[in-house]
Amino acid sequence: MAVSVYDIVITKNTDFEVTLTFNDDTGAPMDIDDYEFQGEIRSTPGDATSNPAEFTITKTNATGEIKLELTDGVTGNLTGEKYYYDIVGDNDDGDGIRTILISGRVTVLPAVSKDWS
């Protein structure tokens, strides 16, 4: 499976979420029931010394759909404007094949509106 590229934009100090659907090589929804996922945001690809954020990843169903989430506290800690991310799936049904399913750039925008009550 080829790695998909999807760039995302996050507004600093706000909650972020996006739902992604993965398809197999035939175009059918990918069966992700046995998968575990990991996703990180880093300032430079391959930089093991920085790890500004890690996504909370939830499988929303077994037919290829996951939800990525970051809280406002996590997005508030992103100090730069440009980052990179990837989502790795581990097919843990005995063979443990780790695959990068999607990657891209992350742009962090400042929040314009201030707190309201």
DSSP 36-92: EEEEEEESSTT-TT---EE-EEEE--SSSEEEEEE-HHHHHT--SSEEEEEEEEEET
**Cβ-count burial of 97 within 10 angstroms (0-12 exposed, 13-18 middle, 19+ buried)?**
exposed
36 and 73 in contact (C-beta within 8 Å)? no
Asked if pLDDT for residue 11 goes beyond 60, the answer is yes
- pLDDT one-digit tens code per residue, 56-114: 999 987 788 999 999 999 999 998 899 999 999 988 754 678 889 999 999 999 988 77
pLDDT of 117 above 50:
no
Q: Where are the domains of the chain?
A: 4-109
pTM of the model: 0.86
| Tokens encoding 5 | 């590229």
Per-residue pLDDT, averaged over 22-41, amounts to 89
The confidence band for 14, taking pLDDT boundaries of 50, 70 and 90, is very high
Which CATH code of 3.10.580.10, 3.40.190.10, 2.60.40.10, 1.10.1030.10 fits the domain covering 4-109? 2.60.40.10
